[in-house]
Chains A and B, each alone.
Chain A
Amino acid sequence: MNALRRLGPALLAPVLAVVVALVISSAVMAALAVNPFDVFSVMLNFGDSPSQQVTAMVVIVNRAIPLFLAGLAVAIAFRMGLFNIGVEGQYRLATIVAAAVGAAVSLPAPLHIGLIIVVAMVVAAFWAGIVAVLKVTRGVSEVISSIMLNFIALGTASYLLTGPFRGSPEGASIIATADIPPSGQMPGLNGIFDVFGLANPPRQLYGFLLVAAVVGILIAVLLNRTRFGFDLKASGMSPSAASASGVNARSMVIKTMLLSGAVAGLIGLPDLLGNTHSYTTDFTAGLGFLGIAVALLGRNKPLGIALAALLFAFLDRSLVPLQIADYPSSVVTIVQGTIVLAVVVANEIARRVARRSAAGGSAAPAGGPTAGDGSTGVVPTPPPGSTDQRQGAQA
């Protein structure tokens, strides 16, 4: 009963959001003279043979791994009320540098992979650290600086790709870094299909799944069980109360952004290590922005983010079948977009419902980003007419 009461508000908003998104996108599809039920059945159709079905699931999980990492990176910063919009630039820059370093060296397999992972994390953390330093020394909003740094990162990445890190021959249709040698490639996990007696699909299930799972658990423990996690959560809930409790707001911003960046550095690695083995002009883009949506939907909790990542990956997988069935693939984009909008709206509705059932609006904190996890499902909004309930003690 207790668990249900705790989970109730946490689950309410995301479920509501998905339902609302489905309704809205059905309406849009109907307006476009597309039968939404046909579209949904294409989306849900994983193929006829067991091999096809397992392949579809592998595609979904492979896509979910980077989405999960992206959501996690965004959520870490979100928890203390920081918006790391720069995840996109952080992982792109990190991936190309890691790809180049990985191709340039030759080491025993575990070390080689380890080096690539460390390089990616360091580069992305460095890039995120710039945002943090600008914020604590110059008071620059992290939203603005991280957007700016995205442009610089993307520009730098294409310069590196066409210039110093170019590995593909002159005149090749796709520009790429040199291939990472086999010692730096991560083996797949397809062995487990044999264990369970399932059809072994032609696609490899990324070995990075294990890394992502470990990272997810570590971050969950760090956020929920450690002193650092407590300071982070406190800073997100009330910066003024956190400082009064002895949290150094500046160093907290720097540590959090470095951590968020380090996780962002991992986003490109499942594809790099498990599939492409080089960074190319058409390397998966946009994961950083999708990560924001995934973190929102997952309410900044690792488990929620994993579920949200799977949902988004499921939607992404249906792109190809939809095109084959001659439906506009923008349907998927519409569903994803409406989910993001619906999440924002649903969080607000869930908040009001929770408030009606528990809080009478007593002692509501002022607005602002409601960082924090789902366990604080009751986040009352100030009653109408109030602008700031925190008394300005500096006055």
Chain B
Amino acid sequence: MAAPGVTGGSPGAGAPAQGAPYAVELRGITKRFPGVVANRNIELRVRRGEVHAIVGENGAGKSTLMKTLYGMHRPDEGTILLDGREVTFRSPADAIDAGIGMVHQHFMLADNFTVLENIVLGSEPTRGGRLDLAEGRRRIREISERYALDLDPDELVEHLGVGDRQRVEIAKVLYRGATTLILDEPTAVLVPQEVDELFGNLAELKREGLTVIFISHKLDEVRKVADSITVIRRGTTVGEVDPKTTTARQLAEMMVGSELPSPETRTSTVRDTVVLELRGVTVSTPGGRPAVDHVDLTVREGEVVGIAGVEGNGQAELVDAVMGLRPLAAGSVLVGDQDITAWSTRARREAGFGFIPEDRHRQGMLLEGTLWENRILGHQTRPPAAKGWFIDRTAARADTERIMKDYDVRAPGPDTLALALSGGNQQKLIVGREMESKPRLLVAAHPTRGVDVGAQAAIWELLKDARAEGMAILLISADLDELIGLSDTLHVMLRGRLVGTLDPASCTPEQLGGHMTGAHGTAGAA
């Protein structure tokens, strides 16, 4: 399995060539959860001042390893060395004291607080026992300047886009004096322009001598930004590779042993029957500003309609409007020629709407629930979940096991709690349950967010097959390759409006990116 560029599964212990000890060294880390070994004998060596990437398929144990390093739980075996000294962390507070900071995959900012308040929360600057916000503001400005983070301390977080929020998270970690930053899937929610900005920030951090460890499923990206890459498979280290001499294809093979997927669609399967039609749909925010502004849209049987846009331009509100989760300020929603504007979410679900939400933790899962409960979530009024007024637990469990097998959800069983699953496996369960209900219309927001390349290919394949069988799909995604590759029709959304329609057959990700930020004006036939 040794791919070119592998420097050996277990390089000799000790220091790198220059003689200085590693900034972070994990030796023989093993971490068990009931029924699973999440990490087995993992070796990780990170030099000071480098950007070190960790790649591996869903459930490989990446997040678990990083949580160990961040003191969120203790390893069952193995040691952690920082600058050559062995350390034991009892809590993240210990890790922070040792200069380790972590930005989690799911943001943890309070929306109604300012940037300043969010950053100082938990380590408030005081003078004479009183909160000293001026000092906090000064330090944030300093950090922002030094690492080119471009933050305004007094801006409310709810007004910020995802890219900005992420920089706030990074600033929060730097504010606490971190010299080693862990970023868990930082790019999953970003569009390409924002990814470039983030990588600019990382380069800045590196120049200042900080160490960055980051997890990603986007292999091209990893090769572009990382100085070295550690590959993990099924809980154990496969080896460390040099990004300069390794191709994305070789990386993918090391991870999963499968080829890099491409979302290229085959021939068009668009039929005439209209499934979903939006007429002048307008959704207003509490402030009165329209989040979705007079959107007209048609999705036909066998058609994938893609919506491209920088996150926060109304896509989430549009999806909510289609699913009946938000009232319309104006306009109507039609299925066939029936006006369903006033229908409840349940009525829409029962009429054959499938839904893969953008934020799986908020709208897609009961984290404290079991997998079978999550299997029936959203389908609790139909078989196999329901038998009349009752829940059919036996059938639900059996069907959950089937979905776990068919969709490669790696977990001990249907009674496992959803929060014990890795992010990608949670996503696979959601995709599985929605696809298995054979919807007429699938509203898919970021369907492959957080899944590894192998699973991504599988989900793309599923969507294509379903489309060929006549399923109508409304696709929202931040992954431009996915949008271009899957869509039959591609709309660009900017500030709540559909500002352009592109031909997915002829446009490149670069062009699409330009339209999304408004740089290209409103070209194309709207």
Contacts and interface: CB of A to CB of B under 8 A. Distances in A.
A228 interface: yes
Contact of B67 (A226, A361, A382): A361
Contact of A365 (B345, B368, B422): B368
B346 A385 contact: no
A248 interface: yes
A389 interface: yes
Contact of A385 (B106, B121, B393): B121
Interface stretch (A70-78, A149-157, A164-172, A371-379): A371-379
Interface in A265-293: none
Given A246-B378, A356-B73, A359-B420, A237 B366 contact: yes
Nearest to B96: A385
A230 B108 contact: no
Contacts of A365: 361, 367-368
A108 interface: no
Contacts of B366: 234, 237-238, 241
A391 B358 CA distance: 10
B391 A225 contact: yes
Interface string B474-494: 000000000000000000000
The A interface is mostly helix, strand or loop, or mixed, namely loop
A358 to B, nearest CB: 6
Contact of A357 (B34, B107, B365, B368): B34
A390 interface: yes
B369 A376 contact: yes
Residue of B72, B111, B349, B367 contacting most chain A CB atoms (<10 Å): B367
B110 A388 contact: yes
Residue of B91, B107, B172 contacting most chain A CB atoms (<10 Å): B107
B121 A230 contact: no
A187 B316 CA distance: 61
A359 B377 contact: no
B501 interface: no
A72 B110 CA distance: 35
A202 interface: no
Contacts of B67: 360-362
A390 B361 contact: yes
A106 interface: no
B405 interface: no
B133 interface: no
B49 to A, nearest CB: 25
Interface string B104-127: 101111110100001001100000
A238 B369 CA distance: 10
Given A231-B380, A238-B366, A385-B121, A358 B420 contact: yes
A35 interface: no
Contacts of B364: 241, 244
Contact of A376 (B110, B379, B380, B417): B417
Q: How large is the interface on A (under 10, 10 to 19, 20 to 34, 35 or more residues)?
A: 35 or more
A141 to B, nearest CB: 18
Contacts of A394: 285, 316-317
Contacts of B363: 240-241, 243-244, 393
B34 A358 contact: yes
Contact of A391 (B64, B106, B285): B106
B379 to A, nearest CB: 8
Nearest to A361: B72
Contacts of B207: none
B423 interface: yes
B414 interface: no
Nearest to B73: A360
B63 interface: yes
Contacts of A302: none
Interface in A328-368: 356-365
Contact of A360 (B64, B172, B323, B325): B64
Residue of B107, B285, B369 contacting most chain A CB atoms (<10 Å): B369
Contact of A378 (B92, B118, B377, B419): B419
B368 A376 contact: yes
A360 B419 CA distance: 9
Nearest to B350: A246
A246 B419 contact: no
Contacts of B346: 246-248
B362 A237 contact: no
Given A243-B325, A245-B377, A385-B122, A225 B345 contact: no
Contacts of A5: 34
A386 B376 CA distance: 30
A244 B67 CA distance: 30
Nearest to A229: B391
B419 A380 contact: yes
B93 A246 contact: no
Contacts of A363: 106, 361, 367, 418-419, 423, 426
A387 interface: yes
A138 interface: no
A395 B359 contact: no
Given A231-B380, A246-B346, A393 B367 contact: no
Contacts of A395: 111, 157-160, 312
Contact of B362 (A246, A372, A384, A391): A391
Interface in B487-521: none
Contact of A227 (B285, B359, B390, B393): B390
A235 to B, nearest CB: 10
A387 B110 contact: yes
A73 to B, nearest CB: 22
B79 interface: no
A387 B110 CA distance: 6
Interface string A245-259: 111100000000000
5 contacts: A227-B391, A233-B373, A246-B344, A387-B108, A390-B362
Interface of A: 5, 225-231, 233-234, 237-238, 240-241, 243-248, 356-365, 370, 372, 376, 378-380, 382-395
Given A230-B373, A230-B380, A384-B91, 9 more contacts: A226-B390, A227-B380, A240-B362, A356-B73, A363-B418, A365-B361, A376-B417, A394-B285, A395-B157
Interface of B: 33-34, 63-64, 67, 72-73, 91-93, 104, 106-111, 113, 118, 121-122, 157-160, 172, 285, 312, 316-317, 323, 325, 344-350, 355, 357-359, 361-369, 373, 376-381, 386, 389-391, 393, 417-420, 422-423, 426
The 5 closest A-B pairs by CB, nearest first: A246-B346, A386-B108, A245-B378, A244-B363, A387-B110
